[in-house]
């Protein structure tokens, strides 16, 4: 976990949705969790890139060398645990680099005052509703007076664990999403319930 934004699961977690207007939040983590994702259009889902040995990265390298259009888009995503004052819940906030650069600026401002980012309430103003007309403005609303929540905070590194090269290869080769992931979950559950005698 790092505030260096230039480098680079399985729970009932709530994800933050910012409707148009103002949403007040409080950051709960010291720094964001960053990961690279690959969008698989055929499954309408994204995968967490494992880095070295990733089959999709290999496909993308070949497409780049041949000056072909990429089959699988790649995106850098940032996440943090936050408390959403509008919903009254601990949630996972996932946004792009622009949002987190603005949040990092607020971090610098709060540190200049001898505080941590988690010490303040942040006002997020969303304008627009579409992909091309949405913008965010972040401002410090004031100091947070209540204790930090102790429950509901997710280990983001665990939650967004990279997918395995085997899983990705199977999906690229045409296996159904549920075949790759549901079968693995059932196998793990079966192994946990087998008694060793």
pLDDT digits (tens, 9 = 90+) for 8-64: 344 568 999 999 999 999 999 999 999 999 999 999 999 999 999 999 999 999 999
* Residue 69: CB atoms within 10 Å: 5
The pTM of the full predicted model, rounded to 2 decimals, is 0.81
Q: What is the pLDDT of residue 149?
A: 86
- pLDDT at residue number 193: 44
Residues of the chain with pLDDT under 70: 1-12, 183-197
89 phi, psi to nearest 5 deg? -130, 155
Q: Residue 175: exposed, middle, or buried by beta-carbon count in 10 A (0-12, 13-18, 19+)?
A: middle
Give the model's pLDDT for residue 188.
54
| pLDDT of amino acid 169 | 96
Q: What's residue 135's pLDDT?
A: 94
In whole angstroms, give the CA distance from residue 64 to residue 60: 6
Q: Judge residue 81's burial from the number of C-beta atoms within 10 Å of its C-beta, 0-12 exposed, 13-18 middle, 19 or more buried.
A: buried
Kindly calculate the radius of gyration of the chain based on its CA atoms and give it in whole angstroms: 20
pLDDT of residue 182: 78
**Beta bridge partners of residue 27, listed in sequence order:** 82
């Amino acid at each position: 976990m790092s505030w260096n934004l230039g480098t680079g699961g399985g729970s009932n977690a709530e994800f933050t949705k910012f409707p148009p207007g103002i949403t007040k939040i409080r950051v709960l983590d010291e720094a964001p969790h960053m990961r690279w994702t690959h969008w698989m259009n055929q499954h309408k889902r994204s995968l967490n890139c494992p880095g070295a040995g990733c089959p999709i990265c290999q496909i993308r390298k070949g497409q780049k060398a041949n000056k072909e259009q990429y089959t699988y888009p790649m995106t850098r995503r940032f996440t943090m645990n936050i408390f959403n004052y509008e919903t009254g819940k601990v949630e996972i906030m996932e946004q792009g680099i622009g949002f987190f650069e603005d949040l990092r600026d607020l971090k610098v401002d709060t540190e200049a005052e001898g505080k941590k980012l988690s010490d303040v309430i942040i006002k997020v103003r969303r304008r627009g509703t579409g992909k091309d007309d949405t913008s965010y403005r972040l401002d410090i609303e004031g100091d947070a007076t209540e204790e930090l929540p102790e429950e509901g905070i997710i280990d983001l590194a665990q939650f967004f664990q990279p997918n395995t090269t085997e899983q990705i290869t199977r999906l690229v080769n045409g296996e159904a999403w549920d075949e790759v992931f549901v079968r693995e979950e059932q196998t793990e559950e079966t192994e946990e319930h087998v008694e060793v005698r």
